[in-house]
């Protein structure tokens, strides 16, 4: 893989995205209700062509979009990412009829998508799914069980739902279904979480599905899930890098202006060295994210390991950078409404969702030992 650097056109596009996020998306985000889907914000992402670009762009473009938006408006970044996460299985594995029915509405921001994988007893261990697809005639099933920690639930217009179609088969017995929200037997409720994003739980009580709702192949839904996560994991890292950069920029500004001990905060070596460490870690995480995304776009064989490394390093880095920024700002950063108070609540979840940090370490080790055994 070649050494990485962005082209001038890419840098200009990132600057344009940051400006759009600050000028057009942040005002809509500020009008949204915490914990609810912000449909005007999603619609604006559609009008700007950003959702459509999710499905036309590669992994690197996805990372650049998420990083750039996150620097100026985390709500816009997350709304965009959730449209992609929920609808990517339809884009990649759906039938012509499924794609024609849902993707135009997703891309123009009039239909909200959701990715329903996690369950109360199956979060990081995705192969342990308990939601069951009970046979209900030829090529027909009824879904019964629960989903939990589902972004955009219960307000999404459709869900990519993963259910067990073969008992005792682990990852080999899971099927992905495209489930419209108006199916009988599907209910849900919102969850009050640390971050302000729409997250909820779903209850499925004999929800009917047919072969026409299957995404990909029966009993091969785990491939759908893992293929989606391998694409999006580096971009979760990009989201984290964007937050880290926002915290670093705020800290540079604050320490350059703040008077303390007869000078500026930046004149204190203890402070300047911390700022340098924040910048160092942020740039290292950014480069690893870009490298993982480039590997995905090039079809490299080591994508799972690289994706895991990128998500792990970037999310852990963002946690460190935001926490250090809060420390250097002092009590003002803890006031409700301060940028860093917002980032402090936002930055914790990415170390858990789409595979916790511990899971990423397990993936990395598995890939390393597999490579050793293949020599």
Give the span between the Cα atoms of 299 and 311, in whole angstroms.
18
Q: 160-187: b or e for each residue (b if 16 or more CB lie within 10 Å)?
A: bbbbbbeeeeebebbbbbbbebebeebe
Backbone angles phi, psi at 160, to 5 degrees: -90, 105
Rounded CA separation 85/107 (Å): 13
Q: Residues near 253 by Cβ (< 8 Å), separated by ≥ 6?
A: none
Q: Kind of pairing, strands 214-215 and 174-180?
A: antiparallel
Residue with tokens 């209900």: 136
Residue 194 CA to residue 80 CA, distance in Å, equals 20
User: Cα–Cα–Cα angle for 297, 95, 119, nearest 5°?
Assistant: 75
Name the 3-class secondary structure at 164.
Answer: strand
Q: Are 205 and 185 in contact (CB under 8 A)?
A: yes
**Phi, psi of 163, deg, nearest 5:** -135, 155
Contact (CB, 8 A) for 340 and 322: yes
- CA 316-317-320 angle, to 5 degrees, is 90
Rg (CA), the chain: 21
End-to-end CA distance of the chain, in Å? 20
User: For the CA atoms of 30, 34, 36, 40, what is the dihedral angle to 10 degrees?
Assistant: 0
Q: What are phi and psi of 68, to 5 degrees?
A: -65, -45
| Residues identified as active-site | 354
């Amino acid at each position: 893989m070649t050494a990485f650097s962005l082209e001038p056109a890419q840098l200009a596009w990132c600057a344009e995205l940051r400006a759009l996020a600050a000028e057009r998306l942040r005002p809509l985000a500020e009008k949204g209700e915490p914990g609810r889907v912000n449909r005007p914000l999603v619609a604006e992402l559609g009008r700007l062509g950003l959702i459509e670009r999710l499905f036309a762009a590669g992994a690197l473009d996805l990372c650049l979009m998420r990083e750039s938006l996150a620097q100026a408006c985390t709500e816009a970044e997350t709304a965009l990412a959730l449209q992609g996460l929920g609808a990517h299985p339809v884009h990649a594995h759906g039938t012509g009829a499924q794609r024609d029915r849902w993707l135009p509405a997703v891309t123009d921001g009039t239909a909200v998508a959701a990715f329903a994988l996690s369950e109360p007893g199956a979060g990081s261990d995705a192969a342990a799914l308990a939601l069951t697809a009970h046979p209900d005639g030829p090529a027909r099933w009824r879904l019964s069980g629960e989903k939990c920690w589902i972004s955009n639930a219960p307000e999404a217009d459709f869900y990519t739902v993963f259910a067990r179609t073969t008992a005792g088969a682990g990852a080999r017995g899971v099927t992905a279904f495209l489930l419209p929200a108006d199916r009988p037997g599907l209910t849900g409720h919102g969850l009050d979480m640390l971050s302000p994003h729409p997250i909820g739980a779903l209850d499925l009580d004999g929800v009917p599905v047919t072969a026409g709702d299957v995404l990909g192949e029966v009993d091969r839904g785990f491939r759908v899930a893992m293929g989606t996560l391998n694409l999006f994991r580096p971009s979760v890292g990009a989201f984290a890098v964007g937050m880290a950069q926002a915290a670093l920029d705020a800290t540079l500004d604050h320490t350059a202006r703040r008077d303390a001990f007869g000078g500026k905060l930046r004149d204190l070596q203890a402070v300047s060295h911390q700022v340098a460490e924040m910048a160092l870690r942020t740039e290292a995480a950014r480069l690893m994210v870009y490298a993982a995304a480039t590997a995905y776009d090039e079809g490299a064989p080591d994508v799972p390991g690289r994706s895991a490394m990128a998500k792990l390093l970037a999310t852990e880095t963002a946690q460190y950078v935001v926490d250090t920024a809060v420390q250097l700002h002092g009590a003002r950063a803890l006031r409700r409404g301060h940028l860093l108070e917002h980032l402090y609540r936002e930055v914790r979840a990415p170390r858990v969702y789409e595979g916790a940090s511990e899971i990423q370490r397990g993936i990395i080790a598995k890939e390393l030992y597999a490579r050793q055994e293949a020599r």
